Amino acid sequence: WDLASRKCLANLEGAHSKKVSGLTFANDGVTFYSCSTDGTVKSWQAYPSSSSDDEDMATRHGPMTTYRAANAGSFQSIDHHRSDNLFVTASDSAVDVWSPERSSPILSFDDLWGSADTANHVRYNPAERGLIAHTSADRGFGLFDVRSQSALHKVVLSMRANALEWNPMEPMNIAVASEDYNAYTFDMRKLDRPTMIYKGHISAVMALSWSPTGREFVTASYDKTLRIFPHRAGKARDTYHLQRMQRIFTVNYSADNNYIISGSDDTNLRLWRAQASQSVGKQATAREESALRYRQTLIRKYKHMPEVKRINTSRKLPKFIKSQTALQTVQKVSRQRKKDNEFKNSKPGTVSFPVERNKVVVKKVE
């Protein structure tokens, strides 16, 4: 696709026999890889030359090479290394590291801390060359070290982790999208509790993506909304939704930090502005930029005043989202009232109030 013209440049029909579960570009910006639940990984050329029009290829774009792993089953996710010519895949049985020059994995992590569950998401760390993070169907996510060829740490959450992404500017931090309607950020040096909880969705968070600046990230949810969270705040600064948009399963930031691309269950890709009030298509004059900075300064200065805070944070939401949010609030108040009554009518020291962050991680596996 070409975002500027909103046109489809190429349609690779029959690329895989089953669902395409992952795509990633190589470092050269020309080669990209696709993985599928049919058990294959294929490499393609985004800009084929006239010499690449070979009769042996299904399309002008490829596939150039097909990769298969023994007992891999179906591939669920793929990611390419930032600097080295390597890519990593997550499958039913293992997390595999591949070299484009070889038809089989050069390294395979098949013993996922004694768990036989599917690895459903995998990502390379943007700074540590040999560090890989993955999520699995047993509600856990773990870290691998390629240099020592060993599994480092794994934590099991209270509910399943659907996706994870490393912060590009603070690569020790990792964001996790969870089935419990929340997103979490963890410090890889201390995985026993999250550093922040991001709330607001009323259904499972299916995907997330960091902005290139690392100061905020966007989440895609089963409740048919996108939410943009500042890194240091647990509440979304903006919520995007449409009447016809269905459940959202993938989301990504553009490299210039100006746009967000989402893919939903209604078979559509949508392009959103990262800043909803930002003008597009014309260059702002110096006077307009000065006025915009002045308004933003006023908002930051008076954002704690009740009226300014209400205007600045309020967003129009669908009736279904409002009703479910109100229901969740009532349920939370009821649970808190029950806990208070239990505390009042029990012996001192028998009832405790655990911190919410301590309840996210069930156990840590070395």
Say what the pLDDT of residue 294 is: 94
Say what the pLDDT of residue 4 is: 80
Residues contacting residue 206 through CB under 8 Å, at least 6 positions apart? 162, 163, 177, 220, 221, 222, 247, 248, 249, 250
Say what the pLDDT of residue 49 is: 67
Say what the pLDDT of residue 338 is: 93
Domains of the chain: 20-273 (2.130.10.10), 287-346 (no CATH)
Say what the pLDDT of residue 213 is: 93
Residue 143 in contact with residue 124, Cβ under 8 Å?
Answer: no
Can you read off the two tokens belonging to residue 72?
């891999």
Say what the pLDDT of residue 236 is: 92
Query: Mean pLDDT for each consecutive 10-residue tract of the chain (366 residues)?
Result: 85 89 92 93 85 63 87 89 93 90 89 75 93 91 90 90 94 94 94 93 94 95 94 91 92 92 92 86 84 91 91 88 93 93 90 88 86
